[in-house]
Amino acid sequence: MCRFLVYKGKSEILLSKLILEPQHSILTQSYDSRLRLDTRRPHNGDGFGVGYYTPPSLGLEPCIFTSTIPAWNCINLARLAAKTTSSLIFAHVRATTEGSLSDNNCHPFRHGRLMWMHNGNVGGWKFVKRRLADSLGDQWFIGVQGGTDSEWAFALFLDSLERAGHNPNSDPGNDGFGHTVLRKAMLQTIKRINQFINDIPEQFKGDEDLDTRSLLNFAVTDGQSVVCTRYVSSTTDEAASLYFSSGTNWKQEGPKGNYIMERRDKGADIVLVASEPLTFERDNWVTVPTNSTLTIHKQTVMIHPIIDEYYNPYPSYSRSSGFAVSKGLVSNAPGVAQALTPGLSGAVTPALGTIDRGSIEDATERLRASNGHVEVARV
């Protein structure tokens, strides 16, 4: 499995302040991932990618830099990150599950103004791929260049966006497609993936090697809004980890690499979303609940439950982290991550109903009091 990072800020930031310098930067996670347990492939060393938006005078499409070199061993990444700034950044380090080691298989993926990345897997992929491909419009089918389930999922998202009446090839204007449009297309993408899995012929479902559960931590942006998911197609399992942090200033304080998210007022000038926290500051990071979307729109963070056959409305409902662990991941279940990664115990918080020893509602009230820009949708 992979690790990813999203930065959205009112101001541009030097890429190195996210990718290289923090104690637990995305580069560090490529060789020292604290929430992965895969002893077969202990590193996220199968390539990396960085995507970022430049000034409009250079075009509205994001710039994408990918390489199959491990992130920790790429001098060009250090050179680029030290001299490049942006207000919207995607970064990804890869551990292959599907697809070979090639630039075409490195995230993030791009189409026009849209950018996409994924941590996880599509369940039952070898039985799903043809059905998914057959469902796509010709241009989305032809546009797939690599062999990953992640890029095919992006093609499905583009197809879902078009079916909803929003042409991904069109110019959506300065405000992009809008966060509601992106979120609805994302939900439709997940729904279609689940349906393809449900449609796997019965004679194959007895295959002992077939696991139809999916881990779908997606991230998509149109350059204005960002939509992320933390999702597992199961009623009993926990999803792979996902966290966010928001505040007014991301700064180094004290020893080298010791970054903190500062909150000087009720504004949220910066929002970070990450598979693993970039720092060990407990109060800086909040767990995204399993089977939820996280939307960033004008620096406001909105969390919505994904209500489908795998949804459970009870905050006290407990899920198992066994599936995520079997895939080489820690979800964020209390006890598991803390026992295995004591250095990160301050950032690991219970999920599904509790965030940082409190309920979702209590944590939200604390965050709202501190930055005024977090909303949780209730059902």
Q: Going residue by residue through the chain (379 aa), what tens digit of pLDDT does each one get?
A: 568 899 999 999 998 899 888 876 666 665 555 544 444 444 444 667 899 999 988 988 999 988 767 655 667 888 888 899 999 999 988 655 554 555 678 879 999 999 999 988 999 999 999 999 999 999 999 999 988 899 999 999 999 999 999 999 998 888 899 999 999 999 999 999 999 999 998 888 777 778 899 999 999 999 999 999 999 999 999 998 899 999 998 888 877 778 888 888 777 899 999 988 888 777 888 999 999 999 999 889 999 999 999 998 886 788 888 787 776 665 553 333 332 333 332 233 323 222 332 333 444 443 444 444 555 554 4
Q: Is 63 a catalytic residue?
A: no
* Catalytic pick among 2, 74, 106, 228: 2
Question: What pLDDT score does 234 carry?
Answer: 94
155-191: burial string, b at 16+ Cβ within 10 Å, e else: bbbbbbbbeeebebeeebeeebbbbebbbbbbbbbbe
Q: Can you identify the CATH homologous superfamily of domain 3-327?
A: Aminohydrolase, N-terminal nucleophile (Ntn) domain (3.60.20.10)
For residue 146, report the phi and psi dihedrals to the nearest 5 degrees.
-110, -160
- Which residues in 35-158 belong to E strands, given as ranges? 48-52, 63-67, 85-93, 109-111, 114-121
Query: Distance between CA 122 and CA 216 in Å, rounded?
Result: 7
Count of beta carbons in the 10 Å neighbourhood of residue 209? 5
Each domain of the chain, given as residue ranges in start order, spans 3-327
pTM: 0.83
Cβ(220)–Cβ(296) below 8 Å:
no
DSSP strand pairing (374-376 vs 300-305): parallel
